[in-house]
Structures are given as structure tokens and as C-alpha cells.
Amino acid sequence: MPKHNLVTWNTLITASAYSGNVEYAEELFQRMPERDEVTWNAMLSAYAHNRHLEEAKRFFEEMPSKNVVAWNILMHAYCEEGKLDEVKGLFERMPSRNAATWTCLIEANADYGHLEDAQSVFDNMPERNVVTWTSLVAVAWTSIVAAYADNGRVCGAKKLFDSMPRKDLCSWNVVASMYARYGFCREAIEIFKIMCLEGFDPDGKTYVIVLAACSHIGLVREGLQKFTCMEMDHGILAQKDHYRALAASFGRAGELRNAEDLTVAMDDPDGQAWRAFLGACSVHFDVRHGVSAAKHALVVGPEAGSAYILLSNTLALENTLKTSYRKVVY
């Protein structure tokens, strides 16, 4: 490329930022013969994305002009660092705001557990009162639903979800995950079914949620059916989390051979997977499978101690049971 134009320079700065090379982004910025708003925002994003907050703040104050994108970049950076006061301060100073601005303030309040403040911000969003619908407003709705869910307000979250003028996949996942997290596993599975009936295609995260829900309430065959449909009906390739959830389901049910087969079928099963299987072996007093699981766990997992403890407990329990059996028989 003999000569860089403005678009090329901006792209190089953005690429450097997302690869973590802030110094090179700074060098490119200084070398540029001309700059536009995109350039300044790209450099600001480089600092913010790599958590150089002091540099981001200094650079922001030096910017010749600041559009709403620049304000949102810095505001989001403070939100990511949990600096609620700074987020609020920027929000108050902003000459103009968009849906992304309001959503960031909702998330910042929610992360701090300030649910009432998050609700107040949501209620005052001007974009909620216009006919035109944007994906950013959908994010705001999902954020407030997630805020209620994270604070254990299950009924409130579901009520808000039901009142959403338009739902997206993320909002369905938030509600399904909430139900599963708080032990309402049948409700999580029901949400999955309703979502599919309403024409939403689940993604990999959806299936992790529903497989875990099936596992926790012993719906082994339903979990297996959903695992099969995941790829056949939706073209989603099973990842480690999907295998773990289904293996846990078989493990809880005492079907340890199937649980072991699924663990082996994972792409490079890690120590966590083998320790989970070892835990199931311990619960069901299956020493033979437990020894095999422990060997794998000790090879691939650095946390060897927990594997030793689980295996030791399994062996000790087996010996106790054998001793008790001899006393009864003899």
C-alpha cells in the first residue's frame, strides 16, 4: 500500500488498540497528517479498551470536539471499572445523549446494586416513548431486566420482561438464566419452549442454560434430546459447557458410563470436567470409574489436591460400606 488514506490510518489505530498495542496506536496517531472525529474516537477507545483510564481522561479533555460517541466511550470505560460516581458525572455533563448513554447508566447502577436508581433511569429514557424502535433500546430493556435478576427480584424481572415491547434473544437468555440460577429449573425449560414457539432461534448460551436446568432436576432424557436437537435443528456445535452440563446430568442419575463417555468426547477435556465426573463417582460410591477419573484429573488439571481429596473420600467410603456389610453378614 503506497499511501495511507484517512480510513486506513483509523483502521490501523483501531486494530492496534484491540490487540493491546496502545504505544503503537499512539505512534500512528502522532504520525497522521490529518485527523477527523473517527481518529480521535479511535485513539480514545484505545486507551479505554486497554483500561488506561487516566490517559483516556486526559485525552478526552484535550479533544477539539466531542461527539456523543466520545462521551459514551469514556463513560463505558468508567462503568467497566465500577466507577459509578464518574459515570454519573459524565452523564450530567453530556450535551446530548442517546440510548447507549442511558443504557450505560442503567448498567452502572445495576452493577452497584442500586436497583431503584437503575429503574429510575430506565423510566426516564426518552427513547422509550417514541414509536421508532432501535436495538439499543432493546439493550436498555434487557439491562434493567438483568438488574432485577441479578438482585434476586425474580417476579419483578419477569414482569418487566413480559412488558417489553420487543424481545430479542439476549432478553430471553437473561430470563431463562435467572430461573435456572435461582432453582426454578422447570420455569427455565418452559421459557426455552415458549421462546422457540415464538420464532426465536436459541444460541449456544441458551442451550447451556437449558441443559443445566434439565440436569439439576433429573430430566436426563429431556436433556439428551435437547443436546441432540441443538446440532440437528439449529446447527450449533457442542462446546465444553454443553458436554459438561449433559455429563453432569448423567452423573447425578448414576449413569456413570454415559457421563464418562461424554467427558471423553469433549474437545480436550480439562481438569474441571474430570473433577466433576470424579465427584459423581464419589456420590455413587463407584471406585472403579473414580480411579480412572482421578488419573485423568491429575494429568490435565493443576489443582491436584481436590482430585486427591475426592478419590480419598470415595475409597474411604467404600471401605466403610464394606466393613458395615461384613458386620451385618457375619
Q: Between these two residues, 221 and 327, which has the higher pLDDT value?
A: 221
pLDDT for 138: 77
pLDDT for 286: 82
* SS3 state at 208: helix
How do residues 94-152 score in pLDDT, each as one tens digit?
Answer: 999 988 899 899 989 888 888 889 889 988 888 654 433 355 577 888 888 999 998 88
The type of residue at 189 is I
The structural domain count of the chain equals 1
Domain-located, residue 316: yes
pLDDT for 326: 43
- Torsion angle, alpha carbons of 52, 57, 61, 65, to 10: 70
> How confident is residue 268, by pLDDT bands cut at 50, 70 and 90?
confident
* SS3 state at 31: helix
> pLDDT over 90 for what percent of the chain?
58
How do residues 152-167 score in pLDDT, each as one tens digit?
Answer: 899 999 999 998 888 9
DSSP for residue 129: G
Q: 273, 240 in Cβ contact below 8 A?
A: yes
Distance between CA atoms of residues 300 and 314, nearest Å: 20
> How confident is residue 1, by pLDDT bands cut at 50, 70 and 90?
very low
How do residues 2-14 score in pLDDT, each as one tens digit?
Answer: 466 888 888 999 8
Closest CA to 28 of 42, 102, 18: 42
How do residues 68-86 score in pLDDT, each as one tens digit?
Answer: 999 999 999 999 999 999 9
The type of residue at 174 is V
SS3 content of the chain, % helix, strand, coil (to 5): 75, 0, 25
pLDDT for 133: 38
Per-residue burial over 50-81, b if 16 or more Cβ lie within 10 Å, else e, is beebebbbebbeeeeebeeebbbbbbbbbbbe
pLDDT for 97: 92
Distance (Å) of CA 186 to CA 103, 117, 179, 217, 325: 31, 32, 8, 8, 39
Can you count the helices (H) and strands (E) in the chain? 19, 0
Domain-located, residue 208: no
Mean pLDDT over 177-186 rounds to 97
Mean pLDDT over 168-172 rounds to 95
Distance between CA atoms of residues 29 and 46, nearest Å: 11
Q: 10, 38 in Cβ contact below 8 A?
A: yes
DSSP for residue 264: H
Domain-located, residue 240: no
Q: Which residue has the cell 426454578?
A: 184
Q: 308, 294 in Cβ contact below 8 A?
A: yes
How do residues 54-63 score in pLDDT, each as one tens digit?
Answer: 999 999 999 9
Domain-located, residue 312: yes
How do residues 20-53 score in pLDDT, each as one tens digit?
Answer: 899 999 999 999 988 999 999 999 999 999 999 9
Q: 318, 283 in Cβ contact below 8 A?
A: no
The type of residue at 33 is P
pLDDT for 183: 95
Strand (E) or helix (H) holding 125: none
For the full predicted model, state whether its pTM sits above 0.85: no
- Torsion angle, alpha carbons of 119, 122, 123, 126, to 10: 170
How do residues 299-318 score in pLDDT, each as one tens digit?
Answer: 766 555 565 666 666 566 55
Specify the range with the lowest mean pLDDT, choosing from 174-183, 187-196, 284-293: 284-293
Domain-located, residue 87: no
Domain-located, residue 79: no
Domain-located, residue 314: yes
Domain that holds residue 320: 257-330
Q: Which residue has the cell 486507551?
A: 47
